[in-house]
Amino acid sequence: MNAEVNRILQKVLKRITPTREQRKRVEQLARRLQEKVSQTAREMGVTAEVRVEGSVAKDTWLSEEPEIDIFMQIPPELPREMLGNVCLKVAKKAVEGAKQVERFAEHPYLEAFVDNVRINIVPCYRVKKGEWKSATDRTPYHTEYVKKRLNEKLRGEVRLLKRFMKGIGVYGAEIKVGGFSGYLCELLVISYGSFIGVLENFAEWKGKTVIDLERYYEKREDELQLMFPDPLVVVDPVDAGRNVAAAVRREKIAEFVAASRAFLEKPDEKFFYPPPIEPFNPKQIRVELRNRGSTLLFLTFGKVDAVSDVLWGQLYRTQKALRALLETHDFHVLRTSAWSDENELNVLVFELEQATLPPVKRHLGPPLAKRRECKKFVDKYLGSERTVCGPFVEDSRWVVEVRREVVDAAEFLREKLRDGGRTVGVAGKISDVLKEGFKVLLNEEVSDVYSWNREFARFLTGFLTGRPWWLERG
Amino acid sequence: MNAEVNRILQKVLKRITPTREQRKRVEQLARRLQEKVSQTAREMGVTAEVRVEGSVAKDTWLSEEPEIDIFMQIPPELPREMLGNVCLKVAKKAVEGAKQVERFAEHPYLEAFVDNVRINIVPCYRVKKGEWKSATDRTPYHTEYVKKRLNEKLRGEVRLLKRFMKGIGVYGAEIKVGGFSGYLCELLVISYGSFIGVLENFAEWKGKTVIDLERYYEKREDELQLMFPDPLVVVDPVDAGRNVAAAVRREKIAEFVAASRAFLEKPDEKFFYPPPIEPFNPKQIRVELRNRGSTLLFLTFGKVDAVSDVLWGQLYRTQKALRALLETHDFHVLRTSAWSDENELNVLVFELEQATLPPVKRHLGPPLAKRRECKKFVDKYLGSERTVCGPFVEDSRWVVEVRREVVDAAEFLREKLRDGGRTVGVAGKISDVLKEGFKVLLNEEVSDVYSWNREFARFLTGFLTGRPWWLERG
């Protein structure tokens, strides 16, 4: 490792490693919460062993963003409903008075803010290894596994990797990001020995990477391929049947690969701390949208009644369905994206080559070999008002030129979404909102939204630029 | 065969079968020409056996359009140059005073008009079967084969088939048509036994038909498939290595199949005698072109110094090349066609979805696995003026949005053809003409050409309608 890289990493490391005071404060807070939750459970008659888990337990947290995970382990005999609702009640009571947000992964959990620190109070079953009853049951085993294998040096490497991934926007297992979890970062460092080791390996990405720390699949590589079709496979050391990286979206792996290359070629502190995006001012954005040459189509709608993960899941699903809908109607979709303030405004963006299509298109009929279908086709289009020309025979099949049924993308979406758009693939909760109302805006028509929402302005400015902020000519 | 079909066929047959007087006149003319050519050859010191071949020899000519083929068979020892030039001289001398046109197939021959009858004087070698030295050497053997197998009834069936194919526009081996030759019609009737038999068989077209009258390939079907990849294979009874239908264009087979079905479903005399196309008047055509929705792009240019077959070969080749050129630059080509008065005006037509493309498009870069190419790509497009947005990573490869280099089809063609367009595939003789000048016209801009050229007006009216004239709802 050259001196420049070393200098940068030392500098970042200093910034992200908790000081003795920070550590003391967070650990005391964690212990206090642990006791409080434990006591509240007792008071409410809930049997639960309460433990500190996550990055605080493993000492891999970033000094700037401590996050305390409190796990309530309940006996496996208790029914599934307990896990969610009853534990949620205990959690709410325990941090009464603090700001609270109900969250939902496989089951509900509570997010709270105490002394400006984010707290997650998460229920799980206390089970033997392999006898998992819920998705969070593995966590205590993860903590144990990682603690055993990390020393102070490696904990620093994990912190660097987390900070780097945050910087380039691929950190976090939440649906919105679909990136690398903290546990995954820890396993990558354990596997490759250092932050730079992880980057060097990903920079050489060839399309598929497998990490099997415990060698569960030694000499059974074929079986592994069958079990895990994902491009990145990190076999969970505490569960051979699970790929820790299964939920990482392909594009996040790709962005990490590209950023690893860029950093190794030209190391820079900025990768860890992205410069803020300075949004175009309202006049600039109008000029930009007018002169761009492509068409930006915005679908905006109001509050969706769902927790963050569900909201983003539905936004992405809807985005994908509407892209497909536009493409099957011959619109060339250049890019799409989704934005939400997770409260009152949601926006899906579609960048199109053009918003209106030429009025005539070719329509292929059956091959001549299918005599009966040919007759049907000819009869249909000879008598059709849509027929512009033909039918005629070309390359041994009937073809006709017809007037397109859909030429205007905005009009088409308005029509398809009026009833909520369930039939075209809009996700359920979003569909309910669309029924109440939505807007389809083209190019400068988004100016109003842009002017009064600075976060959206940042998002749109980044979208229009369209390249990773860290990208520079090499 | 039902009574209605029978009535139609009898009526047509009456019209196309030569009367005794017609036959006498044509046969006398043929004999006179045979003697004249024979005598002229002798006078010029050319050894040649002169024979009447073709439809007159086989008595399968249509009374409305007699065409006399006079063949000059020269000894195989004589060099190849003799076949063309010397025989041409003999022929020219023999029909001195008559209207003459030099034509060219594999070698030159002479077309002349004597007493309003078309005459072809064609040279060939007098060789044993199988020892072919030129393409026309087989003709005397064809005549012999067909004469032996046709009786009066079958000659009528051949006449019906020829007339039907003329009616629907698939008759004639010349390049302009690329259709069925007279000999091919005769073999089809010999094979299927009647005009209706031929139609019924083609109506059941499944994509490939093989006719092997002399069973040359019995139990060697695999070999036959390898030798003749064409969709229609009619093994030449006098040459097992030749497919008589090799030069029939796929679209002509397809049109014959479609017309056969239409006739069998709804028999009508019109198939044999197409109604004349009534061209739109100049005002109608302007309205038609303006409201159509697609764009018609015309490339017009002047006289090409080439005989008909060469001209049409070059027109089609150029049409195909320019279509490909437009398509590789993202223009959607709906249809193309070519027209020529075979003298001073040639027109290629391209019907496009739109004449101008949206200014921005996606451009796919290398997959992430190719690290070096990725670096090159990113460096190139980060610094490019054409880049609108990106580069960014999508589906594990780099992508960029760029400004299109070609947006205007007419401008693009003008630029590419200015130097004759050899590099984009324009055929040689046409390229020479383009260098001297050409026009690219859009939609109504063709009005002038349309107004002063009635044959072009007919062609364009047919092209705009775009369906076979005989097509009706079944």
pLDDT for position A474: 56
B205 to chain A: closest CA residue:
A369
Burial class (CB in 10 A: 0-12, 13-18, 19+), A380: middle
Burial class (CB in 10 A: 0-12, 13-18, 19+), B372: exposed
A203 to chain B: closest CA residue:
B371
Mean pLDDT of A279-290: 90
Residues in chain A: 474
Residue with tokens 């006498």: B24
* Least confident residue range of A63-67, B78-82, B248-252, B334-338: B78-82
Distance CA B130, CA B241 (A): 9
pLDDT bucket at A79, cuts 50 / 70 / 90: confident
Any A CB within 8 A of B353 CB: yes
Interface of B with A in 281-300 (CB under 8 A): 292-294
A403 in Cβ contact with A390 (< 8 Å):
no
Token pair listed for A125: 């079953």
Record: contact A360-B292, CB cut-off 8 A? yes
Interface of B with A in 203-242 (CB under 8 A): 203-207, 231
Record: contact A467-B395, CB cut-off 8 A? no
A381-430 residue pLDDT tens? 998 999 999 899 998 899 999 999 999 999 999 999 999 999 999 999 99
A164-183 residue pLDDT tens? 999 999 999 989 999 999 99
Output helix, strand, coil percentages for chain A, rounded to the nearest 5.
45, 20, 30
- Given a cut of 60, is residue A275 above it in pLDDT? yes
Q: In whole numbers, what is the pLDDT of chain B averaged over residues?
A: 93
Mean pLDDT of A255-280: 93
H or E element at residue B442: strand B439-442
Mean pLDDT of B393-422: 95
Residues in chain B: 474
pLDDT for position B76: 86
Residue type, B335: R
Any A CB within 8 A of B257 CB: yes
pLDDT for position A28: 94
Interface of B with A in 384-443 (CB under 8 A): 388-396, 398, 401, 403
So what's the ipTM on this one? 0.87
Interface of B with A in 309-338 (CB under 8 A): 332, 334-335
Distance CA A206, CA A222 (A): 18
Distance CA A30, CA A57 (A): 9
pLDDT bucket at B1, cuts 50 / 70 / 90: low
pLDDT bucket at A86, cuts 50 / 70 / 90: confident
The alpha carbon dihedral of A199, A200, A202, A208 has a sign of negative
User: What count of Cα atoms within 13 Å lies in the side-chain half-sphere of residue B397?
Assistant: 9
B396 to chain A: closest CA residue:
A254
- Best of A467, A469, A471 to substitute, by most chain B Cβ atoms within 10 angstroms, is A467
Output helix, strand, coil percentages for chain B, rounded to the nearest 5.
45, 20, 30
Record: contact B334-A362, CB cut-off 8 A? yes
Beta strand B49-53 pairing with A439-442: unpaired
- Given a cut of 90, is residue B307 above it in pLDDT? no
- Best of A264, A397, A401, A403 to substitute, by most chain B Cβ atoms within 10 angstroms, is A401
Pick B360's closest partner by Cβ from A294, A371, A382.
Answer: A294
A148-157 residue pLDDT tens? 999 999 999 9
Record: contact A465-B378, CB cut-off 8 A? no
Any A CB within 8 A of B85 CB: no
A202-233 residue pLDDT tens? 999 998 999 999 999 998 988 898 899 999 99
Share of chain B above pLDDT 90, in %: 77
CB pairs under 8 A between A and B: 167
SS3 category, A63: coil
Pick A473's closest partner by Cβ from B258, B371, B382.
Answer: B382
Record: contact B390-A354, CB cut-off 8 A? no
Mean pLDDT of A100-109: 79
Record: contact A258-B368, CB cut-off 8 A? yes
A403 to chain B: closest CA residue:
B293
pLDDT for position B474: 56
pTM of the model: 0.85
Distance CA B382, CA B390 (A): 8
pLDDT for position B102: 82
Mean pLDDT of B282-311: 93
Pick A390's closest partner by Cβ from B374, B396, B466.
Answer: B466
Residue type, B137: D
A345-369 residue pLDDT tens? 999 999 999 999 999 999 999 999 9
Mean pLDDT of A126-140: 90
Record: contact A360-B396, CB cut-off 8 A? no
- Given a cut of 60, is residue A438 above it in pLDDT? yes
Share of chain A above pLDDT 70, in %: 99
pLDDT for position A434: 97
Mean pLDDT of A232-261: 95
Task: Delineate the domains of chain A, giving CATH numbers in brackets.
Answer: 3-147 (3.30.460.10), 150-271 (1.10.1410.30), 282-356+407-465 (3.30.70.590), 360-403 (3.30.70.1550)
List chain B residues with CB under 8 Å of A254. Answer: 368, 393-396
CA distance from start to end of chain B: 19
Pick B378's closest partner by Cβ from A255, A396, A471.
Answer: A471
pLDDT for position B302: 96
Pick B393's closest partner by Cβ from A254, A375, A388.
Answer: A254
Chain A nearest CA to B355, separation (Å): 10
B180-233 residue pLDDT tens? 999 999 999 999 999 999 999 999 999 899 999 999 999 888 889 889 999 999
- Best of B288, B323, B401 to substitute, by most chain A Cβ atoms within 10 angstroms, is B401
Residue A391 gets the label, from left (phi > 0), alpha (psi -120 to 50) or beta, of beta
A303-319 residue pLDDT tens? 999 888 899 999 999 99
Mean pLDDT of A445-454: 92
B64-73 residue pLDDT tens? 889 999 999 9
Record: contact A293-B360, CB cut-off 8 A? yes
Pick A293's closest partner by Cβ from B403, B464, B468.
Answer: B403
Record: contact B362-A334, CB cut-off 8 A? yes
pLDDT for position A27: 93
CB atoms within 10 A of CB B88: 20
